[in-house]
């Protein structure tokens, strides 16, 4: 379930649509507090995992 599926308790609309002030406030809160994983960060994490895996395999041999 993503934030696109959340329904507002005030207006019964989708929060992502921002029909009422409560929706708009919730949407803004979710936007500010959602983790943003940039492509560069993702690639860096992937490379680190690959290096650690290679080191572990080399050490085990």
3-state secondary structure the chain: CCHHHCECCCCCCEHHHCCCHHHHHHHHHHHHHCCCCCHHHHHHHHHHHHHHHHHHHHHHC
18 CB contacts (<8 Å, ≥6 apart)? 24, 27
Give the global pTM.
0.51
C-alpha distances out from residue 19 to 7, 30, 59, Å: 11, 16, 58
- What local confidence, expressed as pLDDT, does residue 1 receive? 55
- What local confidence, expressed as pLDDT, does residue 61 receive? 76
Tens digit of each residue's pLDDT, the chain (61 residues): 566 788 988 999 999 898 999 999 988 998 888 777 788 989 999 999 999 999 999 998 7
């Amino acid at each position: 379930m993503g934030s696109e599926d959340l329904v507002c308790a005030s207006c019964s609309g989708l929060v992502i649509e921002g029909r009422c002030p409560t929706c708009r406030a919730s949407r803004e809160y979710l936007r500010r507090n959602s983790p943003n994983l940039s492509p560069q960060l993702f690639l860096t994490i992937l490379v680190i995992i690959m290096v650690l895996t290679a080191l572990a395999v080399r050490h085990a041999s």
